[in-house]
Structure 1
Amino acid sequence: MSYVGPDFDPPQPRRSRRGPLTVALTALVPGALAGWLAWQAVGDDSGGGSDRAVPASSSSSPGSAGPSSSSSRPSASATDDSKADTPSAPASSSSKPAASGSLKGKVVVIDPGHNPSNFRHSSEINHKVNIGTNWKECDTTGTSTNAGYTEARFTLDVAHRMRAILEKQGATVKLTQDGDRSFGPCVDERARIGNAAHADAVVSLHADGSASGNRGFHVILPASVHAGAADTRPIVAASRDLGEHIAGLFVRETGSAPSNYVGDGTGLVVREDLGGLNLSTVPKVFIECGNMRDTKDAALLTSGAWREKAARGISEGIVGFLHG
């Protein structure tokens, strides 16, 4: 997910910060101390600096079309191991209750950012939707690696892996889209899907499109928003708890470091400009798993083995949150 575009305005640039802030992470993520310590052991060879990213986000059901804008389609000839390592995905995106397991009775909604076909529907994804605080475009096409591996492919692959992991533990898992729509859904519809499912946890999957040298992951938490149809006040605390669990377990499983360009080294960022968070009535966070425009992060994001680790880290964070 990039910061320039519909649901993703750029935050103020921050300088990369490490050192004492790394130690502070253990206080922010008390349930995942082992994960943070594992990251410290791995270290971080990231560069510094900050920049704006290329567009990203997702879209919805047809509505009154707004001004049309062109969307470029990333090359399909990306060099990666995604096809070989991608697990076969069920044809349907409907939820599949599991019979037993520690998460029996729990509902998890996974929101794979963007849609592989969004680029074919520029007018639809550019029409405006109300996110409570203001109006924004339905969605964007998402970003990609320099070699053309798209964010939409990445998020759907990780979503499939997460679904398999969570269903084995008894959870009922629903995807907001499974590559089975011509475009979208829009950011407001994505929020409604989680709300209608009465989800115990919702995670929106993304990968950033920031400047080269900007590395690492960050989890986006909802700010306290009360405007129009948006009221996040009841979910702010629970969403932070969910985000902290995911951040800690993501570090432990992947060895990736928190972002060196947003979040001041904590891996946590609070936003009030995202419709998917503003309109949610259930605990929800976004995760930017890495920066697709940085060659070192791109090497991870295009690795099926690393995506399996990412799926496991996010899933285990959800499990820890749901177990309390």
Structure 2
Amino acid sequence: MSYTGPPLDPFDPFGAPQPRRSPLRRGLTVALAVLVPGALVGWLAYATFGPDGEGDGSGSAGAATGTASAPRWPNVGNGKSGLAAPSGSTDAAPSDSASSGAGSSGEGSLAGKVVVIDPGHNPTNVEHTAEINRTVDIGTHSKECDTTGTSTNSGYSEARFTLDVAHRLRTLLQQQGATVKLTQDADRPYGPCVDERARIGNAAHADAVVSIHADGSGAGNRGFHVILPGSVRAGAADTRAIVGPSKDLGKLIAADFAAATGTSPSNYIGGGTGLVTREDLGGLNLSTVPKVFIECGNMRDSKDAALLTSGAWRQKAAQGISEGIVSFLRG
């Protein structure tokens, strides 16, 4: 910024002599010349970078006009999130504190809504095979408590993938004002079992539950699909009340997931619709609230695996799922 006060030289630019000032007055003038620009520079720096010293690129424009600057979104893949990148992954998930949601355009729009995110499997299931192999009642029949899940050929596990996407999704939904709960956060030795996963969503009176997975099909099988609950009434299972709303939720997630990630619906299941109905999943059979599963891609296909192991792509996946949930909850 240029200084616009009176000339500090005793002569003007054209050489015309100016009246001499007293030494005291000259001293005050010089002091002001130094202090005023310094103060302005300091104020502009504060307006640009804020008290935390991290500029978001919007800077002085917002400060000068009195308008709010653009919201700060999580820094994906820059190593500054505070979380270590999982093995086989190109980027780490943002921490919840990395993006508090302050100033986001949808802040508060889901206030009062409860979303349960169900990250499939558990990173330490492999250490508890006896526990996860025991069977539980899912209404239609008995099924294993849980499984270890699949992995890419390079060893990046489905359990680590689902937890990473769950963290990203939680942050996005919290920015919208929703209350978000996870069925597990690598905070237990194994599981929970599929029947308990359903009970967690039911007990929370969730407005929507999404179980996150990645498939382990053959090479060449690509794309995502969303699994919807079929109409089941057997034993402890009765899905009749949730079939309709779950289908609505699944359709919205499928459409927004495709748009956000640029990926196509599965080429090996669902007939190109990206939607599959099943009656053999305990997490769906025992749910009393709207719930779907999403298989985000096939970990055993090299092209899909390249996406699933990318932090930038996982952020897009979380964004797509989030947008589908938000659309569903807004009605």
TM-score (norm 2): 0.71
Match of 1:101? 108
Equivalent residue number for residue 80 of structure 1:
89
Are 1:172 and 2:179 an aligned pair? yes
Secondary structure at the aligned position of 1:246 is classed as helix
Matched, 1:241 2:248: yes
Partner of 2:42: none
CA–CA separation in structure 1 for the residues paired with 2:111 and 2:330: 11
Q: Match of 1:79, SS? A: coil
Aligned-partner Cα distance in 1 for 2:205–2:86: 40
Answering whether residue 133 of structure 2 is matched by residue 131 of structure 1, we say: no
How far has the Cα of 1:85 moved from its partner? 2.5
* Partner-residue secondary structure (3-state), 2:271: helix
Paired amino acid for 1:201: A
**Is 2:147 aligned against 1:140?**
yes
Aligned to 1:222: 229
Please report how far the alpha carbon of residue 89 of structure 1 lies from its aligned counterpart in structure 2 after TM superposition.
Answer: 5.9
Q: Distance in 2 between matches of 1:319 and 1:279?
A: 24
Alpha-carbon distance between aligned partners in 2 of 1:305 and 1:124, rounded to the nearest angstrom: 35
Q: Identify which of 263, 269, 273 aligns with 2:280.
A: 273
Q: Equivalents in 2 of 1:322, 1:87: separation in Å?
A: 24
Higher relative contact order (CA 8 A, sep 6+): 1
Q: Which residue of structure 2 aligns with residue 38 of structure 1?
A: none
Distance 2:265 2:122 in 1: 26
**Does the alignment pair 1:253 with 2:264?**
no
Match for 2:271 among 242, 264, 278? 264
In structure 1, the partner of 2:315 is 308
In the TM superposition, what whole-angstrom CA distance separates every residue of 1:131-187 from its partner, at most 9, and x where no partner exists? Answer: 000001101100000000000000000000000000010000000000100001000
Does the aligned pair in 2 maintain the 1:113–1:205 contact within 8 Å? yes
Task: Select 2:202's aligned residue among 192, 195, 215.
Answer: 195
Looking at structure 1, the residues matched to 86 and 218 of structure 2 have their Cα atoms a distance apart, in angstroms, of: 22
1:157 is paired with a residue whose SS is helix
Q: Kindly provide the CA deviation profile for residues 214-257 of structure 1, in whole angstroms up to 9, marking residues without a partner as x.
A: 00000000000000000000000000000000000001100000
Contact 1:254 1:306 in 2 (8 A): yes
Bigger-Rg structure (1/2): 2
Specify the alignment match of 2:214 in structure 1: 207
Q: 1:79 Cα deviation (Å)?
A: 3.3
Distance 2:156 2:261 in 1: 20
Letter in 1 for 2:212: L
Structure 1's consecutive aligned runs of 4 or more residues displaced over 4 angstroms after TM superposition are none
For residues 320 and 89 of structure 1, what CA distance do their matches in structure 2 show? 22
Query: Is the partner of 1:312 in helix, strand or coil?
Result: helix
Report the CA distance between 1:80 and its aligned residue.
Answer: 2.6
- DSSP-derived class of the 1:110 partner: strand
Q: CA deviation at 1:88?
A: 2.9
**2:50 counterpart residue number:** none
* Letter matched to residue 248 of structure 2: D
For 1:173 and 1:237, how far apart are their aligned partners in 2?
A: 23
SS at match of 1:263: coil
State the secondary structure of the residue aligned to 2:147.
coil
CA shift, 1:77, in A, is 9.2
CA contact (8 A) 2:108 2:175 kept: yes
Cα distance in 2 for residues equivalent to 1:320 and 1:87: 23
SS at match of 1:207: strand
For 2:89, the aligned partner's letter is: D
Cα distance in 2 between the residues matched to 1:246 and 1:229: 28
Alpha-carbon contact 2:86-2:92 (below 8 Å) kept:
no
Matching residue of 1:40: none
Does the 8 Å CA contact 2:109/2:176 hold for their aligned counterparts?
yes
Distance, in Å, in 2 between the alignment partners of 1:305 and 1:77 is: 13
Aligned length: 239
In structure 2, relative to structure 1, the CA distance for the partners of 1:78 and 1:178 (3 Å cut) is closer
Gaps of 5+ in 2: 1-84, 98-106
Question: Separation in 1 of the partners of 2:95 and 2:324?
Answer: 24
Distance 1:220 1:89 in 2: 28
Equivalent positions of 1:180-191 (< 5 A) are: 180-191=187-198
Query: How far off is 1:321 after superposition?
Result: 0.4
Q: Is the 8 A contact 1:78 1:147 kept in 2?
A: no
Separation in structure 1 between the aligned mates of residue 296 and residue 114 of structure 2, nearest angstrom: 23
Is contact 1:242–1:321 with CA below 8 Å preserved after alignment?
Answer: yes
How many Å apart are 1:323 and its aligned residue? Answer: 0.7
Taking the aligned partners of 1:79 and 1:271, their CA distance within structure 2 comes to 31
1:52-110 Cα deviation digits (max 9, x unpaired): xxxxxxxxxxxxxxxxxxxxxxxx995331xx4322368xxxxxxxxx61000000000
TM-score w.r.t. structure 1 length? 0.72
